[in-house]
Chains A and B, each alone.
Chain A
Amino acid sequence: MATPVSNPAGAPCNIGPRIAIRGNVSGEEDLVIEGRVEGSIALTGHLTVTAGAVVEADLEVDSVDIHGQLEGDIVAATTITLHEGCRVAGNLRAPRVVITDGAQFKGAVEMDVQLPGGLQRQQRR
């Protein structure tokens, strides 16, 4: 049997469709979830939640693409993308949040918005 190379590029990390994880997942590489995860996920890489995947967890990631179901708050360092067919309930916080046509989402969105000078003064009052 060939031994798979143990590096992020050679062995992409994925949770298959018939696997369920309950607990905390953390790491420093990209992760693809096709199955079920309950708990929390902290990743310095990219997370993909595929169509058919069910995630009930708070996410802290670099960036995330969601095609499946997710319940939980998402904090991303770069981008959150909700794709067509996804169902997401929770609060999103990232510099860039993309919600495409056909995505279902319930929750709050928070981006670091740079308001023009005048508006910023108004907001402070």
Chain B
Amino acid sequence: MSQQTLSKNAIETKGLGKRYRSFWALKDCSINIPKGSVSALVGPNGAGKTTLLKLLVSLSSPSEGSASVLSKPPSQKPEYISEIGYLAQEIPMYSRLNAKEHITMGQHLNDSWDSDLATQRLNELSIPLDRPIGKLSGGQRAQVALGLALAKKPKLLLLDEPVAALDPLARVDFLKSLARAVTDADGELTVVMSSHLLADLERVCDHIVILASGETQLCDDIENVLISHKLLVGKRQDTANDEYTIIQQTDTPKETSLLVRLNNAKFHNSRWHIRDVDMEEIVLAYMGQSREKIDIKATKGVKL
């Protein structure tokens, strides 16, 4: 117990899996997300992002493995849920109730709740508090939902594709609000946000978790990821080497390029040109790796 309370991680999962009948929505997911980090949870559709977040907030229970969230195993008990703010993918709210009524609802349903904070935030964004939620724009709805999640004063905020349905401007506004909340919390708030829009996530996230085909592929600090992943380009040659792990290999008649994870950041080899890669390339490479058959040309042509 004392060891648990000392954990530096807000989230720890070990071999977490969820099966729906014969279909595994999430399998063998082992991640550690440090306290105070803002993590991007990325992966293709169906990779298990939503499932993972639901397991963490106890809207679903795991078929195997275990999780520890804020040093507690997930449960439906109010004292567990009260520390977590959660925003479901479809941003569900009562469409006939207005924002003010949602804030009142939160007041009635939570012991720790900051109505003033929520009201003030929404006022600053000029969101009409007395208009039914169903009549607000997508961006406004998302802002109200974020405001509600934050009014709980959570230690952990789980956001499931919050910006997916928003136009670019609303997306930027939402991420700004989120960034501000993170700043205001001064390291006390951990955020996990899933998305497939990587460019948006890079703006606010410092940590990345790549889920592909329901298995964790990578979970690390973004800076570390950028340092440890390189593109090696050279003549066609034997690629085996224990100094790196190949994530993606692309062969043309003349040359070979490898996207690798280096075991040693000081890797140097005269047979290869070493190039930096950006986050998008890395994510795509991991996603491509998870496919059973990689159509190399098609993968190479993909641009986000």
Query: Do A and B interact?
Result: no
Q: What residues of chain A have their CB less than 8 Å away from a CB belonging to chain B? A: none
Q: What residues of chain B have their CB less than 8 Å away from a CB belonging to chain A? A: none
